[in-house]
Homo-oligomer: A and B are copies of this chain.
Amino acid sequence: MGGEGEAMLITQMSQQESRALLAGLGYGKLACARENHPYIVPIFFAYEDNRIFCFSTLGQKIEWMRANPRVCVQADEVRSYMEWKSVIVLGRYEELPDDEPHRKTRSHAITLLFSQRYRWWQGAYATDRLRGRAGEPIPVVFSVTIEEITGHRAQPDPAELADPPASGNPGK
């Protein structure tokens, strides 16, 4: 590479660090898939006890996740090309409708989401109005249960400047 001589070291984060990053960020991307077509949407969420809680108005992503509950959530904190943390979750969508078996969890999720970042609601409602639906918006509350979580951290690695890898010139 030559040039500025920068190098970075990527290391795997522990489960605990990955969960802490996820909880602290509360904002990321969710991917779902229908008939092998992937689709990404930005989400806000609250993390608690191996689950994330989200809120949405009815729309394509909800319809897709009802049909296929396998989802992937990614969140990151990027300071520079050389310094970032990123976490990827594989998980399972579960809707929390306003019925007896789910009422308590739904109410808890709404409280968590609402108290942490109440502006999200406005975003979701603005989107709903954009779509031109009549009457009351329909809030969908759901959780994603974490089945697998992995995190990586990149940081500048001064040691590598002194001992460059023998992997040749990637510019070729």
**What is the 8 Å Cβ interface bit string for chain A, positions 1-23, against chain B (1 contact, 0 not)?**
10100111111100000000000
Q: Contacts A29-B74, A74-B29 given: A68-B122 contact, CB under 8 Å?
A: no
Copies of this protein in the complex: 2
Question: Do residues A125 and B39 form an inter-chain contact, with CB atoms below 8 A?
Answer: no
Question: Do residues A154 and B123 form an inter-chain contact, with CB atoms below 8 A?
Answer: yes
Question: Do residues B33 and A38 form an inter-chain contact, with CB atoms below 8 A?
Answer: yes
CA distance A6 to B124 in the complex (A): 13
A101 contacts which chain B residues (CB < 8 A)?
Answer: none
A119 contacts which chain B residues (CB < 8 A)?
Answer: 6, 81-82
A33 contacts which chain B residues (CB < 8 A)?
Answer: 31, 33, 36-38
